[in-house]
Structure 1
Amino acid sequence: MNIQNFTYKGIPVSYSDDGAGEVILLLHGFLESKLIWQPFIKELARKNRVITMDLLGHGQTGCLGYIHSMELMAEPIIELLENLKVKDCIVLGHSMGGYVALAFAENRPDLVKKIGLINSTSREDSKERKRNRDRAVKAVKENPKRFIRMGIPNLFCEENRTVFTEAIKKVTEAALKTPTQGIIAALEGMKIRPERTHFLSGLNVPKLMIASKKDPVLDFKALKKEAEEACMTLVVFPDGHMSFIENKDEFSKQIMYFIE
């Protein structure tokens, strides 16, 4: 990965830029970083230009206050693409990255050629989900490391928590580097994100939904219905929320198929 930095509103923003051709923008999820895409960069960059970014408060990118709304997270992405003179791109986002992808697309639809939601949704948080976000913020304030160590394994379907022990350890170690402010700001931002189902349905570009039957975070039946209503191509995996790890090979094939 060709990792670089630029400054946005006084904070460092870390991104990678590899290959040449059609631009693929990859956005990571909560407690992740651009490094989750590293296993896929080589293949994708053979015929494309692949750009990844550490979202606000994650990886090597700084924080911009107590709340990182999805709209705020999208702002440095737009600035980066303008700086790199990118005219349009295929944007794919995992989990929180999907929320940011939708905020980005709503702000600058002219930059979006295709969009893919990976274990993500255009729906806003339910009341219960918002209460869970508040509980999570409290838990992070009390003990951020415990929150991360308990939370990461629960993103995998139950049987995979023993199958992917090493992967879970690696993801957890990376997540532990996320600053407490970044964790809380993201939780607060996800909690207040607006409903974007109507926007997604009206977005006239090819759309992909990757959903997992045993996703412990998102309801599979609801995602399936959402994909149908928004006229999205639906790809179904059998496992959990971390499909890029739990179903790595098939995930790679489906992403390549969508891009091409």
Structure 2
Amino acid sequence: MQKSIIFKNANISFSDIGKGTAVVLIHGFLENSTMWKNIAPELSKRNRIITVDLLGHGKTDCLGYVHSMELFAEAIEAVLKHLKIRKFILVGHSLGGYISLALAKNNPNKIKGLCLLNSTSNEDSEERKNLRLRANKMVQNNFDNIVKISVSNLFHQENLSKFKEEIEAIKKEALQTPIQGYIAANEGMRIRSNTNHILSKNNFKKLIIIGEKDPVLDYESSLEEAKRTNTEIVVFNGGHMSYVENRDDLISVLKEFIKGC
């Protein structure tokens, strides 16, 4: 059941299920809390699972024309404060990982563990920054097609037919995102800085989960990042959408990670 709070005059939607160690699941770009529908129930058997619809996504309002990683993080902090949660584990998918790092920067002593799921602490390359700028212009006239293509491009090509039904459901959810939410989040990702130091300098448990065939994140760069920041890494055989492409394995890995925090 979704609940809500008001943060800076914006409605923030969230869910809170289970008991035990608090685990905050943070969805990615063009996703919402429903992405965790097959993950949260499993994890909630032994933990307290909080999911939050990010600014401009799901049932949460937009808050301006740029949603920086820090602003996203502030909204989640407001939910955690409302729930009186002092210590927690973070699991962030893609954009959610960038936000997890912003949360950890402001609250290092509250973090028990941080998992970057198909995500990175590296900043965007110049090429990717330019792609985001172009996408923000194009969606103003061709939103539906760009969103549909973007979602398909996140999967390993061999999985497109295997997960056809799931991909269509993800596209349907993504198309509910307002254009302002798309642009504000994309711009926030474009301007975010490198946060390798958040991983390397903190003592909380850290994990990077990647897909070997991820079309968004370079496999070798992810391996180098894990080594450079002294972070454990798990490699799946899929693309950028491990919660679909490698669901059962992901649930097992997350259970072990949470247990070890």
Please indicate, yes or no, whether the TM-score normalized by the shorter chain is above 0.5.
Answer: yes
TM range (shorter): over 0.9
* Residue 135 of structure 2: aligned partner: 136
> What is the rounded CA distance, in whole Å, between the counterparts of 1:230 and 1:199 in structure 2?
9
Deviation for aligned residue 1:58:
0.4
**Deviation digits for residues 120-143 of structure 1 (CA, Å, limit 9, x no counterpart):** 000111111100111111111121
Kept after mapping to 1: 8 A contact 2:199/2:231: no
Find the counterpart in structure 2 of residue 113 from structure 1.
112
Matched, 1:78 2:82: no
2 CA distance for matches of 1:168 and 1:41?
19
Q: What TM-score comes out, normalization by structure 2 length?
A: 0.98
Query: Which residue is 1:101 aligned to?
Result: 100
Q: Supply the AA of the counterpart residue of 2:142.
A: N
- Whether contact under 8 Å (1:211, 1:224) holds in the other structure is no
Please give the alpha-carbon distance, in whole angstroms, between the structure 2 residues aligned to 1:56 and 1:42: 23
Counterpart position of 1:59: 58
Query: 1:15 Cα deviation (Å)?
Result: 0.2
> Which residue is equivalent to 1:219?
218
Contact kept in structure 2, 1:120 and 1:218, CA below 8 Å: yes
For residue 87 of structure 2, what is the aligned residue in structure 1? 88
Listed as ranges, the matches of 1:30-45 within 5 Å are 30-45=29-44
2: CA distance, partners of 1:60 / 1:79: 16
CA distance in 2, matches of 1:64, 1:53: 15
Q: CA deviation at 1:199?
A: 2.1
2:6 aligned partner, one-letter code: T
Does the alignment pair 1:158 with 2:171?
A: no
Contact persistence 2:17–2:50 (CA under 8 A) = yes
**Residue of structure 2 equivalent to 1:184:** 183
Q: Which amino acid aligns with 2:44?
A: A
The CA deviation string for residues 30-54 of structure 1, in whole angstroms up to 9 with x for no partner, is 0000111111122211111000000
Q: 1:62-95 CA deviation, whole Å, 9 max, x = no partner?
A: 0011100000000011111111111100100000
Structure 2 unpaired stretches of 5+: none
SS in 2 for 1:61: coil
1:218 is aligned with what amino acid?
A: L
Identity within the alignment, %: 46
> Which residue in 2 is equivalent to 1:239?
238
The two structures have a TM-score, normalised by structure 1, of 0.98
Separation in structure 2 between the aligned mates of residue 259 and residue 198 of structure 1, nearest angstrom: 22
Q: How many residues align?
A: 259
Consecutive unaligned residues in structure 1, runs of 5 or more: none
Give the equivalent residue in structure 2 for 1:251.
Answer: 250
Alignment partner, residue 10 of structure 2: 11
Answer whether contact 2:104 2:198 (CA < 8 A) is retained.
no
